[in-house]
Amino acid sequence: MDAQLKKGFLEYCVLAALRENDSYGYKIVKDVSQYIEISESTLYPILKRLENSGYVTTHSTEHNGRLRKYYHITNEGKKHLQEFLETKKDVDKIYKFVKGEIINEQN
């Protein structure tokens, strides 16, 4: 997948990974990697950006004697993810145009 296109989807994939349960970095990479390639070095800047935007919060919990940082999607993050999902119609339209399925469509 093209790097620019992939970059646009990664943020939403990370939010989707947090939609049901809080999670930590390694598990997020594992969950998201089933659908789109991501590494921990790519993940952490995305998580920081999402946190700065108010889409995720963090908390630490002890696990096997060490603190593990967990990420939690906020209501704003859920709203941001839903807004992305609502663009599916527009994305489908672009995809069809690029594929050559839409010719001179009038609105």
**Structural domain total, the chain:** 1
CATH code, domain carrying 41: 1.10.10.10
Domain span including residue 44: 3-99
Cα dihedral value 16, 87, 93, 43, nearest 10:
-40
Tens place of pLDDT per residue across the chain (107 aa): 777 777 789 999 999 999 999 999 999 999 999 999 999 999 999 999 999 999 999 999 998 899 999 999 999 999 999 999 999 888 888 889 989 986 665 55
- What is the model's pLDDT at position 103? 62
Q: H-helix or E-strand containing 79?
A: helix 75-85
pLDDT at 2: 72
pTM of the model: 0.84
| Burial of 106: CB neighbours in 10 Å, binned 0-12, 13-18, 19+ | exposed
Is the residue at 107 inside a domain? no
Q: Within 2-53, where are the H helices?
A: 3-18, 25-32, 40-52
